Amino acid sequence: MSVFQGWRQVGSIKPVFMGDIELFDAVIIGGGPAGTCAALRLLELGHRVALIEQHVFPRPQIGESLSAGVRNIFDYLGASHLLKGRGYIDGLPAQVIWENAKDENIEFRNHGGGIMVDRSRLDHDMLQLAVSRGLILFQPAKTETFRNEGAHWQVVIRVDDKHRELKAVFVLDSRGRSGGRMTDRIITAPPMVALYGNTNKALMPACTLVEAQKSGWLWGSPLPEDGFRMMAFFAPEDLRQLSPYKLFCDRISTSLLFKGGLKGFVPSAIQSCMVLNYSHHKPWDNNYIRIGEAAFTLDPLSSTGVEKAMRFSLQTVVAVNNILKSGDEEISRHFFEDHMAESVTQHLKWTSEYYQCAWPESDNNFWKERARVNILAKDNETAFQRKLRLKLSRSILGNKHDKVTNGAWPADAIDQLWYKKIRRSPQIKFVKAVCVENDRLLLKNVIQHPDIEREIAYIDNIEIFPLLMETQDMETFADVIYFWSKRMSFEKAKHTALRLCELGLLEIS
């Protein structure tokens, strides 16, 4: 029996009917974190939203490790209570063997608020929260056809062995890794295989474990209910040498951090999955938009997959809302594609650097291949694929010294700089870019500089273009502070001036 939540009125929102066809601002396919996150935010902005989910919840789902950044997202959505009181494990420390293979070099790290959850329960709770706020949910329901009709998409679904027809301005595809064909994907890293199983929690330390091995790496963590999850990541060709069970046991038995877990391991419970890192080559296509893992996937090394999927879905909502409110599709699509390319590029750069610093270095092809980042040009590549490739090449090859990472200036910097001559950097370029203001997209003046990896428009919510324009006729650091303090507090003016110096946008002689 399906779960069809009848029409719920939220504020002034009312259903729109076209005969027997329901009309929505957005139909979302898939009820994972990205889809439900988008639904919650679209509902809050006053839009009519339906979600189609094929499976009955709760459902088994891996991906229990959530990075600390999800807390801000749950707070923003008014859903932070879902992370509390459910037996989830909060703030796990970590033991890491990465840059050195000896047990005396185990690193002890604090995750800064990471959390282990039961994904089947969390996904169910998020979806029900969205229903309580006005989401129209079809579950279980199967999407059968899509057809673009110009101003709308026609979506035909099967629910309770009957067909229903929905119309929507937008379709947001959040079906995860199953939501697309391999021919539509830009492969961003060599594939891996993950073998995983659970062992007795009492045999393992109460922390997350990460360990680099000669031809792969291991990850493990206690689970919220019971047990300890152990996962081995390696190249697919390694399975040609040994069976999955023997290969898994070999990796665990030769480990420094995990070998104790073999005593409580049940061989028949071992599972496997292919790990593919990719980006969709055309994520925005006539208001059919891919979000979450239907848009791109990240290397599991970062444990930020859920956070990035939710964060990207919120950025997608900004673009969708802008079109629904203003009709400006070009700016919205440009914003969406830029943020997606930026997210993929940042992650590829980080993972390649992290793979480079692992102790096996270039001794094994597994590490050599993953330390390189390269997306090859193709004759028939899409506009988005070109954008991603160019952004990646600029990020990897262009900027080698980012002044932002050199650390903040000392507290007494103001005294040292007060009477120093100051000027706006001659390397600054003022260009136009899309920025977010009050959930709408505007074309703004932003700043480019060769020492900064990306354009910037704001520092601490202060627009910096007019500030930099005002420095044209100022001589000293003190002049800048006094003039800016007319529009903001004296302390904020000092802080802003120092940040612009750190970025290289203001130069002290």
Q: Any idea what the CATH number is for the domain that residue 296 is in?
A: 3.50.50.60
Is 145 within the bounds of a domain?
Answer: yes
Compute how many other C-beta atoms are within 10 angstroms of the C-beta atom of residue 300. 20
Instruction: Answer yes or no: do 167 and 293 share one domain.
Output: yes
Instruction: Tally the residues of the chain.
Output: 509
Domain check: are 151 and 20 in the same one?
yes
- Measured CA to CA, the distance from residue 238 to residue 187 in angstroms comes to 20
Write the CATH number for 421: 3.30.390
- Asked whether residue 426 falls in the same domain as residue 295, the answer is no
Same domain, 321 and 451: no
| Cα–Cα distance measured from residue 386 to residue 378, given in angstroms and rounded to the nearest whole number | 9
CA dist 364 and 306 (Å) reads 30
| 4/10 Cα distance (integer angstroms) | 17
The pLDDT of residue 410 is: 54
Q: Which two tokens stand for residue 403?
A: 């002044």
DSSP state of 418: T
> Which run of H or of E encompasses 230?
strand 228-234
pLDDT at 111: 57
- Name the domain count of the chain: 2
Cα dist from 276 to 235, 288, 298, 505, whole Å: 11, 23, 8, 40
Amino acid at 4: F
φ and ψ at residue 163, rounded to 5 degrees: -90, 140
The answer to the question of residue 55 being in a domain is yes
Query: CA-based angle 357:69:255, to the nearest 5?
Result: 40
Among 311, 327, 343, the domain boundary falls at 327
Domain membership of residue 217 (yes or no) is no
pLDDT at site 113: 65
How many helices (H) and strands (E) would you count in the chain?
Answer: 12, 28
Residues 84 and 171 in one domain: yes
Same domain, 163 and 310: yes
Reading the block at residue 33, the tokens are 């974190």
Residue 31 to residue 50: CA distance in whole angstroms = 11
414 and 317: one domain? no
CB contact burial 416-432 (16+ within 10 A = b; e otherwise): ebeeeebebbeebeeee
245 inside domain: no
E strands of 298-439, at which residues?
A: 422-424, 429-437
Residue 323 lies in a domain: yes
- 370 in any annotated domain: no
What's the CA angle centered on 34, arms 33 and 35, to 5 degrees?
Answer: 95
Pairing outcome for strands 21-29 and 49-52: parallel
The enclosing H or E element of 137 equals strand 136-139
Q: Are residues 322 and 415 in the same domain?
A: no
Assess whether 323 and 435 both reside in one domain. Answer: no
Tokens of 463: 């627009």
Q: Hey, what are 389's tokens? A: 């490739």
Give the end of a domain, one of 312, 327, 342.
327
Angle in degrees, CA 73, 64, 74, rounded to 5: 15
Shared domain check, 291 and 420? no
Cα–Cα dist 251/437, whole Å? 50
Q: What are phi and psi of 66, to 5 degrees?
A: -105, 135
Handedness of CA 454, 459, 464, 468 (dihedral sign): negative
Residues of the domain holding 322: 3-90+114-182+281-327
User: DSSP label at 332?
Assistant: H
- 158 and 10 housed in the same domain: yes
Strands 162-173 and 288-290: parallel
Report the alpha-carbon distance of residue 208 to residue 93 in Å, rounded: 6
Q: What is the pLDDT of residue 5?
A: 43
Q: Is the pTM of this model over 0.85?
A: no
Residue-level pLDDT, tens digit, the chain, 509 residues? 344 444 333 333 344 444 456 899 999 999 999 999 999 999 999 999 999 999 988 887 777 888 888 989 999 999 999 988 778 888 888 899 998 887 777 877 775 667 888 888 999 999 999 999 999 999 999 999 999 998 899 999 999 888 999 999 999 999 988 767 888 899 999 999 999 999 999 999 988 999 999 999 999 999 988 889 999 999 999 988 888 889 999 999 999 999 988 887 776 778 999 999 999 999 999 999 999 999 999 999 887 889 999 999 999 999 999 999 888 888 899 889 988 998 999 899 889 989 999 998 767 889 988 988 877 767 788 999 988 888 887 766 544 433 333 344 555 666 777 778 888 888 888 888 777 777 778 777 888 888 787 788 888 778 888 888 888 778 888 888 888 888 888 888 888 888 888 888 888 87
SS3 letters across 233-298: EECHHHHHCCCHHHHHHHHHHCCCCCHHHHHHCCHHHCEEEEECCEEECCCEECCEEECHHHCECC
Domain boundary at 327, 355, 381, which?
327
Residues 412 and 288 in one domain: no
